[in-house]
Amino acid sequence: MTRFDVHATPLAGVMRIQRRKLEDSRGFFSRFFCAEELAAAGFSAPVAQINHTLTRRRGSVRGLHFQHPPHAEDKLVSCLHGEIFDVAVDLRRGSPTFLQWHGEILSAGNATSLLIPKGFAHGFQTLGDDAELLYLHSAPYAAAAEGALNARDPALAIAWPLAFADVSDRDASHPFITAEFTGLPG
C-alpha cells in the first residue's frame, strides 16, 4: 500500500506529493518520507540534509534559491505549521518550460509537499503568521555553489498572493534576470 499520491505539475519533474493520513479518534498517522516510494516520484538520492525554518510574519517571502552543479539538490518541501505559497522556477537550460514557475499551497492541514528537482529555484510566501517548514535535501548546502533570483523579478511574473511584508536584505538584493542568463546545465 502506497502512503503517497504523486501528482505531476506543469513543470516536468516538479511533483505535488500528497501524504495519506490514517485517522482515528486519537488523531492521525502519515508517512512523511519513504525512500522507496519517493524514488518513483524523482527523489532517488539519499537525504543528505534536513532544514527546519520558522517565518514569523504573514506575507514574508524567502527565496528564490538554488545550488549550481555539481552541488545541485533535490528538495522535498513541507509545511508543518501554518500555510505557504511554495514556488519552483525552472532554470534548466533548453527546457521547454525555462523560466516558468509553478506554485502550490502547502499547509499543516493539507499534508502536501512539493518535490523540487535539481535545476529549479525555490521560494515561498507565508500566508499566515508563524509558518514552519521542513526541507529534505539530497545534497548538503555548499555556500560557494549558491545562486538566487529576485522574487520580484518582472521577467518571472510570479503571482504572489499577498503584498510583500518582509524580505531579507540578502534576498531583496538578488539580481533580476538579464539576457546573459542562460540557465543551469541539464
Residues serving a catalytic function are 65, 135
Q: Is the peptide bond before 64 cis (omega within 30 degrees of 0)?
A: yes
Helix (H) or strand (E) holding 170: helix 169-172
Q: What is d(CA 43, CA 37) in angstroms, rounded to the nearest whole number? A: 9
Which residues are within 8 A (CB) of 170 and not within 5 positions of it... i.e. 6 or more apart? none
* 8 Å CB contact between 32 and 18: no
Q: What residue has cell string 533535490?
A: 74
